[in-house]
């Protein structure tokens, strides 16, 4: 009886050590997918009327994602590329295209932001 209890405790400790080791080494249940591939939601919102689509992606920027199925016109400055028009809806004196990552104003330009798995990318047309 003591041997059986000892064996169960030993097996439990070994399983715990294996699970803890996998957690520490960053083993992922995504079967090896890196942050630069996976699924992303792209939303294009024109004055409150939004169109959302889910994409599988691998190593692309927010701008490249937008250009997959949209006609995009850009303007360039020393700060990089800016989205001027999406599908013939263009910035003007009152409304502009802005983009957001996971509900927050994007930290960098759309041509510089590398999409990560499970991101939500939103391009919104409206007043700032």
pLDDT tens for each residue of 104-113: 999 899 999 9
Q: Which CA distances in Å does 73 have to 82, 83, 87? A: 9, 6, 8
Give the pLDDT of residue 38.
Answer: 95
What is the rounded (10 degree) CA torsion for 64, 70, 73, 75?
-40
Give yes or no for a contact between 86 and 65, defined as CB atoms under 8 angstroms apart. no
Q: What gap in Å lies between CA 116 and CA 61, rounded to an integer? A: 9
pTM: 0.71
Name the residue among 57, 66, 75 with its Cα closest to residue 100.
66
Q: What gap in Å lies between CA 76 and CA 4, rounded to an integer? A: 73
Give the pLDDT of residue 16.
Answer: 54
Q: Strand order of the sheet with strand 104-105? A: 49-58, 37-46, 120-126, 96-101, 104-105
Give 74's pLDDT tier (boundaries 50, 70, 90).
Answer: very high
The length of the chain is: 128
């Amino acid at each position: 009886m003591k041997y059986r209890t000892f064996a169960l405790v030993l097996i439990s400790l070994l399983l715990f050590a294996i699970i803890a080791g996998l957690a520490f080494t960053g083993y992922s249940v995504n079967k090896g997918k890196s942050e630069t591939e996976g699924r992303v939601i792209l939303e294009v919102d024109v004055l409150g009327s939004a169109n959302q689509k889910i994409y599988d992606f691998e190593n692309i920027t927010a701008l490249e994602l937008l250009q997959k199925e949209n006609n995009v016109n850009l303007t360039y400055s020393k700060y990089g590329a800016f989205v001027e028009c999406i599908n013939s809806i263009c910035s003007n004196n009152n409304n502009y295209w802005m983009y957001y990552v996971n509900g927050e104003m994007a930290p960098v330009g759309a041509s510089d932001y590398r999409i990560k798995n499970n991101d939500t990318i939103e391009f919104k047309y409206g007043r700032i």
